[in-house]
Copies of this chain bind each other. A is one copy, B any other.
Amino acid sequence: MTKPVTATRRQLSDPTEEGKSAADEAWAALRELLARQRRRFLATASELDLHPGQAAALVNMDPAEPRPMHELATQLACDNSNVTGIIDRLEARGLVARQTYEQDRRVRHVVLTPLGARLRGRLLAQVGSAPAGLERLSAAEQRQLRDLLRRVASS
């Protein structure tokens, strides 16, 4: 891998070109943050030698709780058969392990190994916490931002 595989869609071609309403400008700012976060995620995954799907799977796992594979499929919004492949590759690297679930022998549970939990921790340290920019706002401004975003999201 040469380039860190950054944004799949950095520029959404600015529909704010002339309209320039505050909503459009706010949206543009949001998309910028969004793109940056995505680049951060992909670059970090690449540094840890994880493909995006593998990194997403790790992040979606609980360090303590085993998870049924079909639950992972739901969270990753992909088919069961994809999860089989992703878990195959993670298991080959010793990051996760499969367990049979005695209560329902159709189900297989996936659990993080200590190695996998450590790698997941490194991923989250890079990608799961608030970006530095947020810390520069005052506490009151952070609350204000939070409340505004929650109202936007509450559809």
Q: Which residues of chain A have a CB within 8 Å of any CB of chain B?
A: 2-15, 21-27, 29-34, 36-39, 41, 52-53, 55-56, 59-60, 62, 75-79, 124, 127-137, 139, 141-146, 148-155
Contact = CB atoms under 8 A, between A and B. Distances in A.
Assembly of this chain: how many copies? 2
B151 A133 contact: yes
Contacts of A3: 77-79
A26 B149 contact: yes
Contacts of A26: 130, 134, 142-143, 145-146, 149
Given A33-B30, A145-B145, A76 B8 contact: yes
A137 B148 contact: yes
A22 B143 CA distance: 5
Contacts of A24: 129-130
Contacts of A14: 128
Which secondary structure dominates where chain A touches chain B? helix
A148 B151 contact: no
A152 B76 contact: no
A124 B13 contact: yes
Contacts of A60: 9-11, 13
Interface centre among A5, A9, A38, A78 (most CB of B within 10 A): A9
A96 B75 CA distance: 35
A128 B53 contact: no
Given A13-B128, A30-B149, A124-B12, A78 B23 contact: no
